[in-house]
């Protein structure tokens, strides 16, 4: 039987996931890797879908979309999670970085390096 645990970044996200039967755990992607390890306890797979959102600046984009992704990958390794699925962007190639608008470039760069 499949059971879902939603690692959420904001408490107001809990209600949505709890309505569909998922356990929720609040995670700070700006915090320590070991905090994410605790949240990943007893999970077989992580599907990483977090993003800073379109209304944040480049600093928050790098902090969540790149650093948060890397911390979650490290946490998955420490917690012996068997599978890690990264939901990224439609195009994170170097060409996409070069062609991205100034406001979109930090997002593409973050996703490019997180994907590697």
Active-site positions read 107
- Beta strands at 45-48 and 83-86: parallel, antiparallel or unpaired: parallel
């Amino acid at each position: 039987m499949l059971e879902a645990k939603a690692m959420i970044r904001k408490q107001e996200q809990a209600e949505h996931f709890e309505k569909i039967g998922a356990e929720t755990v609040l995670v700070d992607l700006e915090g320590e890797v070991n905090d994410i390890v605790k949240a990943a306890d007893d999970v077989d797979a992580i599907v990483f879908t977090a993003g800073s959102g379109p209304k944040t600046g480049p600093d928050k984009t790098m902090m969540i979309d790149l650093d948060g992704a890397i911390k979650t990958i490290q946490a998955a390794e420490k917690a012996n999670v068997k599978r890690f699925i990264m939901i990224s962007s439609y195009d994170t190639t170097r060409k996409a970085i070069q062609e991205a608008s100034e406001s979109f470039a930090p997002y593409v760069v973050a996703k490019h390096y997180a994907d590697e």
